Amino acid sequence: MPVDVLIVDDSAAIRKILHRVLLQAEVPLGKVVEAADGREALRKLQEEKIGLILSDINMPNMDGLQLLSALKAQADLKAVPVVMVTTEGSSSKVMEAVALGAAGYVKKPFTADQIKEKLTGLI
Amino acid sequence: MRTEITSVQATEILRRATHDVFETMLGVTPEERAGRQENSPPDPAEGVLALIGIAGDWVGTGTISGSAGAARFLAGKFLMQEFAEVDEEVVDAIGELSNMVFGNVKTMLEEQLGPMGLSIPTVICGCNLTTRSVGNHAWTVAAFEVEGHRLELRICFRRRERSSTPDRLAASLPVLG
């Protein structure tokens, strides 16, 4: 069954690249929705039935960790898997994301294969 | 933890990070050109300048600069499309590339100096761009050429003095004009 994916990143370039990688990935993909920060992501999640979220950590307004906390506090959203796509390598922020319930993380720069591999286990 | 990084080590870190990001995300191999240590502000430049602040026990700034043509080329490789001018998409792409490069730099520096934070990048386009280091600290410069386009990466950082304001992110300020 196709899964709708939400990409959350303040960089339009990264959203575009991830969108392209998703379209090329051999996974049952539905709609791809984009948001520029955590706040916009929460608004989109009210409108769309999302099955997977790819999110940056460092973003203005509401960052990826705040978004993750907000999702885990909502009964209808806490089961949605969130993969962090971030420049934060092995930093405390990644550890915090995992502790908050992130399904995994991909470090920037990333290859299309790394994204596909991460998605295959989740979709 | 070490207490300092030499200019040679900083140059090597800039080179490794640039190679990693450019080869993975752009599919291009940057050719290295002679790097240097600058103890005075660089000559005014024109084109595109991305700045990113380093915060924590170590404070400073990293920059990537190049001509408008270099910026259009890099953004084109990043997004797989051609750009006739430096528009919003080019600026965004250069900001994200600088975020990735200095994110990598940060990871390598943290292995030796301890935890650091990075600001969200700022990208400036124009003529007569001068970058000055508050406190006159030395800049380490790594230079590259990518398919005929010259790029320079600079980093300037120092251990934060205990009396400094913790939130003071950038040790340098762009000066226009």
Calpha distance A68→A81 (Å, rounded): 10
pLDDT tens, position by position, B99-145: 999 999 999 999 888 888 899 899 999 888 877 767 667 899 999 99
Question: Residue B175: its pLDDT value, please?
Answer: 43
pLDDT tens, position by position, A16-31: 999 998 988 877 889 9
Q: In one letter, which amino acid is B152?
A: E
Residue of A nearest to B80 (CA): A17
Asked if B120 and A58 come within 8 Å (Cβ–Cβ), the reply is: yes
Q: Nearest to residue B20, comparing CAs of B80, B92, B106, B89? A: B106
Calpha distance B70→B47 (Å, rounded): 8
Which CATH number is associated with domain A3-119?
A: 3.40.50.2300
pLDDT at B19 over 90: yes
**How many Å lie between the alpha carbon of A68 and the closest alpha carbon of chain B?**
20
Calpha distance B28→A122 (Å, rounded): 31
B102 contact residues in A (CB cutoff 8 A): 87
Asked if A91 and B99 come within 8 Å (Cβ–Cβ), the reply is: no
Map out the domains of chain A as residue ranges: 3-119
* Sheet hosting strand A52-55, strand order edge to edge: A29-35, A3-8, A52-55, A82-86, A104-107
Please state the pTM of the whole predicted model: 0.88
**How many Å lie between the alpha carbon of A98 and the closest alpha carbon of chain B?**
18
Structure ipTM: 0.85
Q: Which residues of chain A have pLDDT under 70?
A: 90
